[in-house]
A and B are shown apart, each in its own frame.
Chain A
């Protein structure tokens, strides 16, 4: 879904570094999500947001924080990266409007923590 963009697409960083992954959308959706994908574990929800003032923890939020700067932007931060945060990260959006009740995914960010 080209309407959801993520930057950077790839990032290699070192243990202890702070890193931010950014997500922008032009779909006008209220709901935004950050998922993490590890081999054999599927997609696990880190954080989700229903609007700028509503941020919720997902199942694996420890070690992460988020910021919803605007309806269209949702950033994920790793305050002090560790190697087991090496994964593929996806941002997604959705809406309750008919036809939009599904995750629309960004292209993913491949993060490596050395």
Chain B
């Protein structure tokens, strides 16, 4: 079974629109970590955020914000006022204590296209 599901394969928006990328995860542990990475067209993987499951406060970093909902096992990522440079594939990931936090389970990614 997929531990991390990113149901949106591809999203297209026009610049300045807000966009939310969904991430749903599955774990039986109460302590875990969640991550988001960005992969621009150049191909490298850029770390965006790590969230501990005990920290339920939402996080904002500039135009980026993350909504962590334990009740629905979701860790969604919103880009406000999107820009062309936000065009990339975005990955959500999970690590669990059952693997001693040694393994990272990635979703299949959401490709975001921001058009001018």
- Residues of A that sit less than 8 Å from B by CB: 1, 31, 33, 35, 40-45, 48, 50, 88, 90, 92, 94, 96, 101-105, 107-108, 110
Cβ–Cβ contact A94 & B102, under 8 A = yes
- B residues contacting A by CB (< 8 A) are 6, 9, 33, 35, 37, 43-45, 47, 50, 91, 93, 95, 100-104, 106-109
A102 engages B103 (CB within 8 Å): no
**In whole angstroms, what is the CA distance A45 to B101 when docked?**
14
* B33 and A110 contacting across the interface, CB-CB below 8 Å: no
Query: CA separation between A67 and B31, bound complex, in Å?
Result: 32
Q: Is the interface of B mostly helix, strand, loop or mixed?
A: loop
Instruction: Closest A residue to B35 by CB, please name it.
Output: A102
Shortest beta-carbon distance, A44 to chain B, in Å? 8
Judging by beta carbons under 8 Å apart, are A101 and B44 in contact?
A: no
- Whether the pair A103, B102 counts as a contact (CB closer than 8 A) is no
Which residues of B have CB within 8 Å of A107?
A: 43-44
Q: Is the CB of B47 within 8 A of A102?
A: yes
Known: A43-B106, A101-B95. A96 touches B101 (CB 8 A): yes
Residue from the list A31, A43, A110 in contact with B102, Cβ < 8 A:
A31
CB distance from A98 to the nearest CB of B (A): 11
Asked if B33 contacts A101 (CB within 8 A), the reply is yes
